[in-house]
Amino acid sequence: MEGRLLARARARQEALRADNRLEEARRRAEIAAAIPEINDIEIRLRRHMTELVGLALGEKGRGADALEEENLALQAKRAALLRAHGYPEDYLAPICTCPLCRDTGWRDERICECLTALYKQEQTRELAPLLRHGDETFDAFRLDYYSPEPQREGQRAPRDQMRTVLAVCRAWAESFGESSPNLLFTGAPGLGKTFLSAAIARVVAEGGAGVAYDTVTGLLGAFEREKFSRDSDEQNEAASRVRQLMSCDLLILDDLGTEMPTVFTQSALYTLLDGRLRAGKKTIISTNLGYEAIAERYGAALASRLRGEYEWLEFLGRDIRALRKERG
Ligand SMILES: Nc1ncnc2c1ncn2[C@@H]1O[C@H](COP(=O)(O)OP(=O)(O)OP(=O)(O)O)[C@@H](O)[C@H]1O
Ligand SMILES: [Mg+2]
Ligand SMILES: [Zn+2]
């Protein structure tokens, strides 16, 4: 699990606990007004608690058995009163959102399902900019947008090529793990690179791995704020985003080549991609650039890493954004 997201999931659980305490207080006030006799019972139950604590500390008093017996009688009376006024018997009992772990998030030193569920929600929220349309799944990936005829001599027909690309991506997502290769999607605009990235992200995140998505421009923005921001909150936020981008299990880095090239951006990108390679973390890069253009823009060191350590998938066809417009 990824620390930043886990911290957010825990904060949400903490908020649920606080809501439950508020609701308990509200119910006590409601019952105090509706059934005044219950106040008396509550006060005596509380006094018994104090007495029990005193007994445990060695003070003299009634025996614990007698107290216990009286407690049960008081509790039965409270339940009967609640019922008589049309409330559930346990209306004044502590409220837990998750009875399995009593809202602690842990069961037998393992993470409880409720916290895992909150964590998954945080992860999906994190991917929201990528998954916002909701329909980018492998099953929704249409091949009929791609021509069955080769566009250029000696090239595969786009539809054949994209059928292969789709199959590779689907298998890659389903078997995501340590031995997965990195992927590089290259091709002209509007050919489904971001679409397939989203389909992969969904499947891999559902499998429980930490997935982050960003455009190169967005990522460089975080690097810049971490390094140059004068606002310490902004700087901390950026630093934790950078840590996540550096260390998540799968990073989807979109639109390589659209950022403003500067010495800073070149070196930040190199550091990130080289660091992830060393750590064995997987990356998917999308770009409109081919190998030559990448080498020219980013230099031989980065280009050769991308060539040697990434499986390149070439996207072919005609801009689907334009096709859709034509077809109306
Ligand atoms: N195979 C497909 N089936 C259905 N819709 C698709 C397919 N490929 C792309 N689209 C849709 O076409 C549009 C462009 O696709 P996408 O954004 O994935 O292109 P891209 O290759 O990432 O382009 P760019 O290089 O400009 O970022 C999107 O609305 C996307 O949902
Ligand atoms: Mg794209
Ligand atoms: Zn739980």
Torsion angle of the four alpha carbons 267, 269, 272, 278, in this order, in degrees rounded to the nearest 10: -80
Ligand 1 mutation target, pool 138, 147, 194, 252, most atoms within 8 A of CB: 194
Confidence (pLDDT) at 149: 95
Edge to edge, what strands does the sheet with 250-256 contain? Answer: 211-215, 250-256, 282-287, 182-186, 310-314
Which ligand has the nearest atom to the CA of 108? 3
Read off the DSSP letter of residue 140: G
Give the Cα separation of 324 and 328 in Å (integer). Answer: 6
Asked whether the beta carbons of 46 and 82 are under 8 A apart, the reply is no
Distance from the alpha carbon of residue 147 to the mean position of ligand 1, in angstroms:
15
Q: What's the CATH number for 127-327?
A: 3.40.50.300
Average pLDDT of adjacent 10-residue blocks, the chain of 328 residues:
82 95 96 93 90 83 84 94 96 94 92 89 79 86 96 93 98 96 97 96 86 94 93 89 90 94 90 94 97 93 94 97 87
Give the Cα separation of 234 and 307 in Å (integer). Answer: 35
256-314 pLDDT tens trace: 999 988 889 889 999 999 999 999 999 999 999 999 999 999 989 899 999 999 999 99
Give the Cα separation of 313 and 182 in Å (integer). Answer: 11
Compute φ and ψ for 26, nearest 5 degrees: -65, -40
Distance from the alpha carbon of residue 318 to the mean position of ligand 1, in angstroms:
10
Compute φ and ψ for 277, nearest 5 degrees: -60, -45
Is 91's C-beta closer than 6 angstroms to any atom of ligand 1?
A: no
Read off the DSSP letter of residue 138: G
Is 194's C-beta closer than 6 angstroms to any atom of ligand 1?
A: yes
Give the Cα separation of 226 and 239 in Å (integer). Answer: 5
Asked whether the beta carbons of 81 and 37 are under 8 A apart, the reply is yes
Sketch the domain layout of the chain as residue ranges: 3-107, 127-327
* Nearest-10 crossing angle of helices 232-247, 3-34: 120
Q: How many alpha carbons fall within 13 Å on the CB side of residue 221? A: 8
Give the Cα separation of 222 and 207 in Å (integer). Answer: 27
Confidence (pLDDT) at 51: 87
Confidence (pLDDT) at 41: 93
Choose among 273, 261, 258, 271: nearest CA to 306.
Answer: 273
Asked whether the beta carbons of 13 and 118 are under 8 A apart, the reply is yes
Confidence (pLDDT) at 5: 81
In ligand 1, the atom with minimum distance to the C-alpha of 143 is 1
Choose among 229, 306, 302, 291: nearest CA to 268.
Answer: 302
Distance from the alpha carbon of residue 185 to the mean position of ligand 2, in angstroms:
10
Number of residues assigned to the chain: 328
